[in-house]
Structure 1
Amino acid sequence: MNPRTLLASTVLVALVAALVHTQRYDGYFTDPVGLFRWYAACWVLFVLALLALRRVPVGGVVPLALAGAVAVAVTGLVAPPRTSTDSYRYAWDGRVQSAGISPYDHTPEDPALARLRDDWLFPTGPSCNGPDRAPVPHNAATPHCTRINRPAVHTIYPPVAEAYFLAVDRLSPDGSRHKPLQTGGALISLGVTGALVLILRRRGDDPRKAAYWAWCPAVPVEAVNNAHIDVLGAFLAVAGLGLVAARSVRCRAAGGLLFGAAVAAKLMPAIVLPGALSGVRRVRDAAVVVLPAALFTALAYLPYLLLSHGSVFGFLGGYVEEEGYDDPASGSRYSLLRLVLPDAWAFPVLLVVLAGVCVHVMRRGDPRRPWSGALLVTGWAFALLTPGYSWYALLLIALVALDGRWEWLGIALAGAAVYVLGPTFGYQSALSNIAYGAAVVLVLTVTLLRRRTRLSTPGDRGIPAGAPGTP
């Protein structure tokens, strides 16, 4: 084995070992600071692995990246979900649909669905002692609870996500628990890696960029261990951007359909649409992408509209209110904007700034690299919204892997810091300001340095400076 390949492989093995320990460390409620230390150590090893990959001969990059992707993804399977209970809702929604019932019609604690309960999702007695259990009303003296968070509200997930939950439930063996959803997350995350490698190689770009996703610690933690549906949205968005970049009308329309599927899996991928419209000059060209996306999203909702007796948007409005997105004065939302602006100005200014970024991307963006514009819009949206949930950044990480501007990964690490350390620091905006502020400083600093480098070498139109594989 080439010495440089051996070095990269050794660092990768150390990353995998650290990830296994982190996944097995059940410290989210008991020792969040210790858990984040381990998570931060994984990120340090991730950076070292990327640096080592820069020196690996081109012929060995893809095999090593893919082997590492498998090893990293598997680490998410070594323990039950550690830092999120969302996958329990996924399992419940799949079970409800398998019984022929709309997931939007009943809350998990509704007695009408009591026959679908089991001891895994709805434990009783001493098993109800735990911070990740929610009480369920019951007439018996024995305590009843559920692992499902917010059991008194309807589901929030869009139709493609619900169809995925149903498929996993139907394909799972009887009595299965969290492993089918984790396995599904692992397979989809590997699908993202495959799509990235394919797109990069077809464009003659550096395949090392795929490691930004494939080896990133957030992927096994959020996409596999916690099995967040965001990974499906990221996969569909990446595939859609790859098709849009092909520039033919048929490919752009197919890309639009995939964007619609991504939005119908998790609403957040709608933010990549301005990037998909980079450099579009005519309304007709924009419609080729936007209309298929809107049509697919609408049609995806149709079966559930026909099956359901209630709203198919479920708890969406309540979630926005609960998370403080409609009240800038609460929690840590818009924390960087609130540092310099009155609370009441935060949301309007956010809209104006993002609108400006979107217009810039659509007017000045490179249609051959739609992911560059998508990354710019998504990155600044995250930086200004300062979300408290780390799994939202899976989409951002996938865009970084397509584009190569690694500095935006700081936003993903900031989200993890806010989420893991939030309970310790009372979810105060100070923690968000420090984490996201440092990430924004990194983005601005590296962007400035990259621009200076580009100006000093005006003939260079290759891989962005600082990307893996560049000097």
Structure 2
Amino acid sequence: MIRNRPVVVATLMLTALTALLVALLHGNARGAGLLAGYAGAWVLFAAAVVALRRVPGRCVLPLLVTGAIAVTATGLTAAPTTSTDSYRYAWDGRVQASGFSPYDHAPDDPALLELRDVWLFPDAAACARSEPDLAPLDDGLCTRINRPTVHTIYPPTAEAWFLLVHAVSPDGVRHKTLQTAAALLALAVTALLVVITRRRGDPHRVALWAWCPAVPVEAVNNAHVDILAVLLSVAALAVVARHRVAGGVLLGLAVAAKMLPALLVPGALSGAKRPRAVLAVLLPAVATVGALYLPYVLLSQESVFGYLSGYAREEGYDEAAASGRYALLRLVLPDAWAVPAVVLVMVAVALTVWSRGDPERPWSGALVTTGTAFLLLTPGYSWYALLLVALVALDGRWEWLGVALAGATAYLATPLAGQGTATTAYGIAAAAVCAGWWTRRRAEGAVPDTARPHPRPRPCDEPTTPPTETRHHA
């Protein structure tokens, strides 16, 4: 009898997951093939996480870290597969290094002709081949940068990151430096989650981030700057309960990296009844964002918000009928009511989290506000959900991962099957969240996770009993 069978099963699942991810990314699959491969990766991910739950305590951390490194590294095996955003990052870094403000010039601006290189701006022969990831320019040439006629939308922490990565990048193709830096950030998130959960929770949860296919695909392969915002957000939630000023500063850094972490504010303020406690978080956060923007305001002639408002209009966040945004709300409300409904629901959720949230577990409320916003807005980009995946790993309510998977489905399947696919995916995710909430509410003898005893660590070769089967006697 194999006494460490759970370790073997988990290892096999991880091996299969990494092999599939390498094949998926290196094969440059498109369309239905990419969607099927990504779905298969999520199935293997779920199987690996379930297997890890049966692994003896002392084996969890080595297996978890080894798997995290292997899964994360798969994102380095190919050039960006499903997004061209990293090319804009590289351009913004190059523009700043040359002494220009990234908010003053679009990539097609003739004033920046001397900064063009053949990697970001291929020659006429390459443009003539009309590759799918190349955007045309007015002069008949092309670029790898998406939306080349508009200014950047990225806030100052992100722009500082682009400049730093540019400074350490070799000449030529620079996507590998962006990917490597993103991989280091992803592993830093894993390490931070391990520290937090070993003190306040269950380390098994870290696998929900470390082994999730969204991490190597979106954070590493596509090198989305969201991973920087995730690291800063997790750090902010880890310290805000005991060090409000430090938590506020980190939260400000996160917001100035990708705006989305602003949804974490109600969670960060959980249990803060006194105005002084609220201001101790909000003032440092606002001051940090302002201080980061100030140098760009002084150096720029154009607005430092760039194409942000135009991007919101382009994505349909101002007119529900124009896109797949607010898909679930549009099933039950007139299109014109969608935006007011989002505002009302989010205010109610934020106030509830702020007044009733657990100050020792700010990520729990942050998960609710962030996940609710996703279900209401139904974004069509899968990398936005990286923050949600990290919050799930902190809190343990795995059913919210369905929202992240819905975003990936919306991004990959909508071009193939239309907006109905995204609506269905988010509808299933919402049903899963409601079912998880109902099940937890009805669970007999439920106690707060922080009060739940955890079994002592066992050697790797000792038989194990899953945590869900542990019996507690009075």
Q: 1:38 to 1:331 in 2, by over 3 A?
A: same
Alignment check: 8 A CA contact 1:279 1:366 kept: yes
Q: 1:425 to 1:67 in 2, by over 3 A?
A: same
Q: Residue 359 of structure 2 corresponds to which residue in structure 1?
A: 367
Q: Equivalent of 1:21, from 20, 23, 33?
A: 23
The superposition leaves residues 375-403 of structure 1 with CA deviations (integer Å, 9 ceiling, x where unpaired) of 00000100110000000000000000000
Q: Equivalent of 1:309, from 301, 321, 324?
A: 301
1:177 deviation in Å? 2.2
1:26 deviation in Å? 1.9
Alignment check: 8 A CA contact 1:244 1:252 kept: yes
Amino acid corresponding to residue 132 of structure 1 in structure 2: D
Q: Residue 191 of structure 2 corresponds to which residue in structure 1?
A: 194
Amino acid corresponding to residue 120 of structure 1 in structure 2: W
1:464 deviation in Å? 11
Q: Residue 135 of structure 1 corresponds to which residue in structure 2?
A: 136
Determine if the alignment matches structure 1 residue 84 to structure 2 residue 76.
no
Q: Residue 432 of structure 2 corresponds to which residue in structure 1?
A: 442
Q: Residue 35 of structure 1 corresponds to which residue in structure 2?
A: 34
Q: Equivalent of 1:452, from 442, 448, 460?
A: 442
Determine if the alignment matches structure 1 residue 170 to structure 2 residue 164.
no
The superposition leaves residues 394-417 of structure 1 with CA deviations (integer Å, 9 ceiling, x where unpaired) of 000000000000000000110001
Alignment check: 8 A CA contact 1:208 1:469 kept: no
Q: Residue 460 of structure 2 corresponds to which residue in structure 1?
A: none
In 1, the alpha carbon distance for the partners of 2:449 and 2:48 equals 26
In 2, the alpha carbon distance for the partners of 1:212 and 1:353 equals 28
Q: Residue 411 of structure 2 corresponds to which residue in structure 1?
A: 419
The DSSP-based 3-state class of the residue aligned with 2:257 is coil
In 2, the alpha carbon distance for the partners of 1:82 and 1:460 equals 39
In 2, the alpha carbon distance for the partners of 1:456 and 1:243 equals 30
Alignment check: 8 A CA contact 1:463 1:470 kept: no
Q: Residue 233 of structure 2 corresponds to which residue in structure 1?
A: 237
In 2, the alpha carbon distance for the partners of 1:441 and 1:338 equals 16
Amino acid corresponding to residue 98 of structure 2 in structure 1: A
1:460 deviation in Å? 7.3
In 1, the alpha carbon distance for the partners of 2:392 and 2:290 equals 29
The DSSP-based 3-state class of the residue aligned with 1:424 is helix
In 2, the alpha carbon distance for the partners of 1:457 and 1:107 equals 56
Q: Equivalent of 1:347, from 326, 339, 351?
A: 339
In 1, the alpha carbon distance for the partners of 2:293 and 2:245 equals 20
Alignment check: 8 A CA contact 2:45 2:211 kept: yes
1:456 deviation in Å? 3.8
The DSSP-based 3-state class of the residue aligned with 1:422 is helix
Q: 1:5 to 1:99 in 2, by over 3 A?
A: same
Amino acid corresponding to residue 296 of structure 1 in structure 2: T
1:41-440 maps to which residues of 2 (within 5 A)?
A: 41-128=40-127, 129-138=130-139, 143-203=140-200, 205-245=201-241, 247=242, 251-426=243-418, 428=419, 430-440=420-430
In 1, the alpha carbon distance for the partners of 2:57 and 2:193 equals 16
In 2, the alpha carbon distance for the partners of 1:82 and 1:464 equals 44
Alignment check: 8 A CA contact 2:413 2:422 kept: no
Determine if the alignment matches structure 1 residue 11 to structure 2 residue 13.
yes
For structure 1, the residue ranges without an aligned partner over 5 or more in a row are: none
In 2, the alpha carbon distance for the partners of 1:459 and 1:223 equals 32
Query: Which deviates the most, 444-453 or 82-91?
Result: 444-453
The CA RMSD over aligned residues, in Å, is: 1.6
Amino acid corresponding to residue 199 of structure 2 in structure 1: R
The superposition leaves residues 333-353 of structure 1 with CA deviations (integer Å, 9 ceiling, x where unpaired) of 001000001111111111111
Amino acid corresponding to residue 110 of structure 1 in structure 2: D
In 1, the alpha carbon distance for the partners of 2:210 and 2:253 equals 23
Query: Which deviates the most, 123-132 or 312-321?
Result: 123-132
In 2, the alpha carbon distance for the partners of 1:397 and 1:457 equals 24
In 1, the alpha carbon distance for the partners of 2:116 and 2:252 equals 33
Amino acid corresponding to residue 41 of structure 2 in structure 1: C
Amino acid corresponding to residue 11 of structure 2 in structure 1: S
1:60 deviation in Å? 1.2
The DSSP-based 3-state class of the residue aligned with 2:105 is coil
Q: 1:93 to 1:464 in 2, by over 3 A?
A: farther
The DSSP-based 3-state class of the residue aligned with 1:265 is helix
1:423 deviation in Å? 1.3
Q: 1:460 to 1:303 in 2, by over 3 A?
A: closer
